[in-house]
A and B are shown apart, each in its own frame.
Chain A
Amino acid sequence: MIDILISGLLLSGTYALVAMGLNLQYGVARIMNLANGEVLVLGALAAFWLYTTSQVSPLLTVILVIPVSFTGNWIIYRFLLTPLVKRSKTQGALEVDSILATFGLSFIIIGIIVSIEGGFFAYKYLSEPIRILGSTTSLNRLLAFLVAALIGVALYLWLNFSRPGVAVRAVAVSTEASGLVGINVPRVSAIAFALGGTITAVGGALISTFITLDASMGVVFTLKALIIVIMGGVGEIRGSIIAAGILGVVETGVATLVDPGLTLASAYLIFVLILLFRPQGLFGKHTT
């Protein structure tokens, strides 16, 4: 029982990070990004590729990934998604367009990944066992959790106690009103989108140290991140963290007690319960 709790919570650290990334993209930039999981897999590919070809530590890769993915995601937002934002008359139309466009993007990214590495991203990094509270886990899981927590806290502080962070939160509340008080909404949206993508890619590099990924696995992560965001409430960072904890523990529980093949089904079960009883999320305000 304690095993499930500990490995579930360790797993949820990276889940929470990825969900925060998606939350920035959907909550602030208003883009439902279905290519989120593929960006995560790209981060994982970078960690795998640098480690196997030139023995670069995944921790160093995390730092290298930041500028690259920030620029990449900024370009995507600026040139691929801004035309859609300008064209759409309603939020609904933008949602349909952004879903289709990021969907296309996800397949293109998969195509690129497959041409670099078609198989599994399998490598061993810090896979020594360690004991926490009498339960055995591996060092890489703990490390990934700590790094994720560090980034999460930094993001939280930045959003709450810095001027640009407040601007980002203002845009999340209302694009019109923040435009009126002199916030450059397109700029803030682009930054939020790029930042969200960067966090996701970092999460991918971290996850790759303890889960073996391949090109086709992005969609599962997109789905989990979306479920976490909805469960926690759109735009709620704290909600995402708690929701990620719930998902991580439930998934690990189902995988160890019932069958590892049913993790996705357990995520769906949580999703259905949320949709039926609290569609605004555990911590969301009632708006829908």
Chain B
Amino acid sequence: MKRSNWQELIWAAVITILAAFWPMLANGYWLGIGVDVMMYVALATSWVLFSGPTHYISLASAAFFGVGGFIVGTGMSDYGTSFWSMLALSAVVGAILAALIGLATLRLSGVYFVIFTLGLAEMIRNLVSWVQNNFLGSRGLYVLTDFSDEHLFWMLLVTSCSIYLVGWIISRSRLGFAMRIIGGNETVARHVGINTSMAKVILFTTTGLFGAIVGAIIAPRWSYIEPNQVFSPQLSFFVVIMALLGGSGRLWGPVVGVIPFLLIWNWVDANFPNQSILVLGLAFLLIVYALPNGFVGRIEDLHNKMKRHS
């Protein structure tokens, strides 16, 4: 048990407590930004949980997120159930969906997984629209709760913390140790007797579970839900960019990536809406060519250099 592990946890706790006061300082526009930031922090951290150690690029975030939002919408609008029971249901469904995808694709090389997740959100959206049009008869769903933005912010903060804690516990468990070996060299991992595909499936399942939870929490914010809106593929790309920009080598890396990217994106989208997609492209290229380990990697490089000099 290294001391730095505990130090990291204490730092995380301090930042969490500070973040919890945000809704009291900000309102309106900046509170909205806060909710966005928290949502992406949760999604990107759960992305790093799986893709950090395995180096498998998952583009499935939008699919899980959409499933969560859609379940809350259907349950509350068509069946009159409570928000909390639907939140629990979406977590279960998200986890099952991720496990099934994992079982089908993670036994094979990473490319199959990326391709599969690439169109997943779009495919589920098609299926959901088809089922709605032919069997349920309604397209829009109403989610009416008395949650305001600060409630959503705190719920997302709690979710982010849980993801971080789960990741922290995993990284110190047998599973985390196995994942580090798999990330280093999968053949070696298989030869020392690690069930590599099972380890990956378990980890991906946690990503799916949390993705669906975040989608479910965000649902009350829209109050009116349509499949086209909750299954937006752009969300998956955002999550990947933010996580890699921050650095996927550390569990807290995404926090560093989310805030600057969201601020830049909002500015570009407000001022040059037609060029916003170019920014998305440039961000990917920037990550590949200039920041292969993200901001965190850069900071750690500098830190090591300074240590050697002093």
Contact = CB atoms under 8 A, between A and B. Distances in A.
Contacts of A84: 288
Best-surrounded residue of B120, B130, B134, B277 (most CB of chain A within 10 A): B277
A60 to B, nearest CB: 31
Given A95-B110, A230-B112, A275-B112, A219 B288 contact: no
A288 interface: yes
Contacts of A63: none
Contacts of B233: 219
Contacts of B127: 262, 265
B280 interface: yes
B116 interface: yes
B260 interface: no
Interface string A264-287: 110010011001100100000000
A259 B129 CA distance: 11
Interface string B284-296: 1101110010000
A101 B288 contact: yes
Interface of B is mostly: helix
Given A99-B114, A111-B277, A104 B119 contact: no
Given A100-B244, A275-B105, A107 B119 contact: no
B278 A268 contact: no
Interface string A33-54: 0100000000000000000000
B181 to A, nearest CB: 15
A83 B285 CA distance: 12
A101 B278 CA distance: 13
A239 B233 CA distance: 30
Interface stretch (A131-139, A141-149, A201-209, A220-228): A220-228
A268 B123 contact: yes
Contacts of B104: 272, 275-276
Interface string B101-136: 000110111111011101110110011011001100
Nearest to A215: B277
A259 B134 CA distance: 10
A32 interface: yes
B285 A226 contact: no
A92 B111 CA distance: 9
B287 to A, nearest CB: 6
Contacts of A101: 284-285, 288-289
Contacts of B134: 259
A259 B130 contact: yes
Contact of B275 (A105, A111, A271): A111
A99 B119 contact: no
A107 B292 CA distance: 19
B284 A104 contact: yes
A34 B281 contact: no
A108 interface: yes
Given A92-B110, A265-B123, A104 B285 contact: yes
B112 A279 contact: yes
Contacts of A83: 289
B280 A107 contact: yes
Interface residues of A, number: 42
Nearest to A105: B281
B57 interface: yes
A55 interface: no
A288 B106 CA distance: 12
Interface in B50-88: 55, 57
Interface string B168-196: 00000000000000000000000000000
A110 interface: yes
A34 B277 contact: no
A123 interface: no
Contact of A34 (B112, B118, B120, B282): B118
A271 B116 contact: yes
Nearest to B127: A265
B254 to A, nearest CB: 16
Given A261-B129, A262-B126, A262-B130, A107 B115 contact: no
B148 interface: no
A37 to B, nearest CB: 10
B283 interface: yes
A34 B123 CA distance: 18
B276 to A, nearest CB: 8
A223 B280 contact: no
Contacts of B129: 261
A208 B233 CA distance: 24
A107 B278 contact: yes
A114 interface: yes
Contact of B287 (A100, A114, A222, A261): A100
A106 interface: yes
B274 interface: yes
A126 interface: no
A104 B55 contact: no
Given A106-B281, A219-B233, A265-B123, A230 B115 contact: yes
10 contacts: A34-B118, A100-B284, A104-B282, A104-B284, A107-B281, A107-B284, A108-B285, A110-B281, A264-B123, A264-B126
Interface of B: 55, 57, 104-105, 107-112, 114-116, 118-120, 122-123, 126-127, 129-130, 133-134, 233, 237, 244, 274-275, 277-278, 280-285, 287-289, 292
Given A223-B119, A271-B116, 11 more contacts: A32-B114, A34-B118, A83-B289, A92-B55, A104-B284, A105-B281, A107-B280, A115-B274, A223-B118, A268-B119, A275-B104
